[in-house]
Amino acid sequence: MGVEEQQSGLENPPEAGILPEAVVKTLDSGYQDAHAERRASATAASTSSNAPSAFAANGTGVLYPPSERGHIRDSWKHLMRWSRAWRTAGENGTSVMGRLEKVVVFGGGSFGTAMACALARQKSDLNVTLLLRDPYVCKGINEQHVNTRYLKEYVLPSNVVATTSSLEAIQGAQYAIHAVPVQHSRAFLKGIADVLPPDVPIISVSKGLEMGTGKMMSEVIPSALGRRQPAAFLSGPSFAKEIMDLRPTGVVAASKDKKLAREMQCLFASPYLRVNITTDVTGVEICGALKNVLALAAGIVEGLDLGNNAMAALVAQGCAEIRWLAEKMGANSATVSGLSGLGDIMLTCYGSLSRNRSVGVRLGKGEALADILASSSQVAEGVATAGVVVSLARTYRVSLPVLTAVAQVLDGALSPKEAVYEIMNLPQIEES
């Protein structure tokens, strides 16, 4: 695949040490339960004179011809053999989680809190420390196990703690998860540079481009710290609330150091969190940034009530624009069509929990941007990123009509309706 994004390659099971042992055992238990349920369903189906197969009996599918059913089952058996080999490799390997004692999380917003909980659930004696600014929020986490500002409806694991002291938070940590919004990351990282050891990997979950410089987090981190630091980037279609609810989620861990990417896979992979890996850091980061701008456009179309046809056309055009710029910047096209690209685009453009989409909806309904931002405690990174994207497009000589139109709307140069009219009246072109 070029960039080694681990998806479904059946020929080569991953090397040992991919999954923590506890996760492997949980998966085995889940597989046994699933197989028992399937066998019971098949047995019930076989006793019914009106149901010649389990497909027809349980109402979950159609009755395929025997040859097609054979192909389906053979393909599934092949997939399950590969899966068992993969899980055995993880069980026999050395667990990164087994050696882990402490992780620090920079930032206690929704996603930082969700990541802290995801790790804390993996190992009950793991110290997961949130570094926050607000002592009141720290008190709520430490005494009541509740983040009183974000995701307040959830009780956090008891091994999630919080502090306002950077020294206390970072001391002894083996990994640092960076969940500070991009526009505040440089100042934050400069403030902890003297406390953070140079060998502690930073795992950034912040998505966006820095205003004024156009830099991605992979560039901001070493620039702000004044040195090179091991770094990985976690991205993909992942709402914090659904991670907290243990709903199945897939993300991508990106690092130029494949060993570090695999460590991220070991840390976060669970029965409800799937982690692919890639070395295409640029692709993962630029997709994670630009999808927020496209989500603003999708929200505007929704707010204007322009219909499903318009939404599909807009998102398809936006996907093409993201691919054009990403490839010009050196990204792999497979990344754009994968979890951290198309997957994240779909979630952010269509998901009801998307902050950027929600801002776009309100813009489409006629609200002023200043009023929208003032009424929200959540950061919509697409607002800051839109102007940076236009600058990047000029640098790389790429035409991005939809993403540029979003920047025009945010800047007050066009109304949402005018932007749609102008986009629809661009020259008719050949599909590319």
**Does residue 378 surpass a pLDDT of 70?**
yes
Q: Which of 62-66, 90-94, 248-252, 269-273 is predicted least confidently?
A: 90-94
Q: Which of 54-63, 107-116, 257-266, 323-332 is predicted least confidently?
A: 54-63
Query: Taking the complete model, does pTM exceed 0.85, yes or no?
Result: no
Q: What is the CATH number of domain 283-424?
A: 1.10.1040.10
Tokens 């009183």 — which residue?
148
pLDDT value for 98: 77
pLDDT, one tens digit per residue, over 249-300 is 999 999 999 999 999 998 999 889 999 999 999 999 999 999 999 999 999 9
pLDDT value for 39: 55
pLDDT, one tens digit per residue, over 95-108 is 677 789 999 999 99
Q: Which of 34-38, 42-46, 97-101, 247-251 is predicted least confidently?
A: 42-46
* Residue of 123, 207, 215, 291 marked catalytic: 291
Beta bridge partners, 156, equal: none
pLDDT band at 5 (very low <50, low <70, confident <90, very high): very low
Tokens 């999808």 — which residue?
291
- C-alpha–C-alpha distance, residues 236 and 278, integer Å: 12
On whether the CB atoms of residues 307 and 198 are closer than 8 A, the answer is no
**Does residue 8 surpass a pLDDT of 80?**
no
In terms of phi and psi (left: phi > 0; alpha: psi -120 to 50; beta: otherwise), the region of 212 is: left
Angle made by CA atoms 114, 116, 264, in degrees to the nearest 5: 100
**Active-site residue flag, 291:** yes
Q: Kindly give, in sequence order, each residue whose CB lies less than 8 Å from that of residue 370, ignoring residues fewer than 6 positions away.
A: none
Angle made by CA atoms 91, 93, 98, in degrees to the nearest 5: 85
Beta 249-254 vs 231-235: how paired, if at all? antiparallel
pLDDT value for 35: 52
The domain limits of the chain are 21-92, 96-279, 283-424
Helix (H, G, I), strand (E, B) or coil at 161: strand
pLDDT value for 83: 81
| CATH T-level assignment (fold) for domain 96-279 | Rossmann fold (3.40.50)
Tokens 């882990």 — which residue?
100
- What are the CA-CA distances from residue 382 to residues 282, 288, 414 (Å)? 18, 10, 17
For residue 386, give the nearest of 351, 365, 425, 414 by alpha carbon.
414
**Does residue 405 surpass a pLDDT of 60?**
yes
pLDDT band at 45 (very low <50, low <70, confident <90, very high): very low
Helix (H, G, I), strand (E, B) or coil at 250: strand
User: Crossing angle, helix 401-410 and helix 281-303, to 10 degrees?
Assistant: 60
pLDDT value for 36: 58
Tokens 């861990």 — which residue?
253
pLDDT, one tens digit per residue, over 356-374 is 999 999 999 999 999 999 9
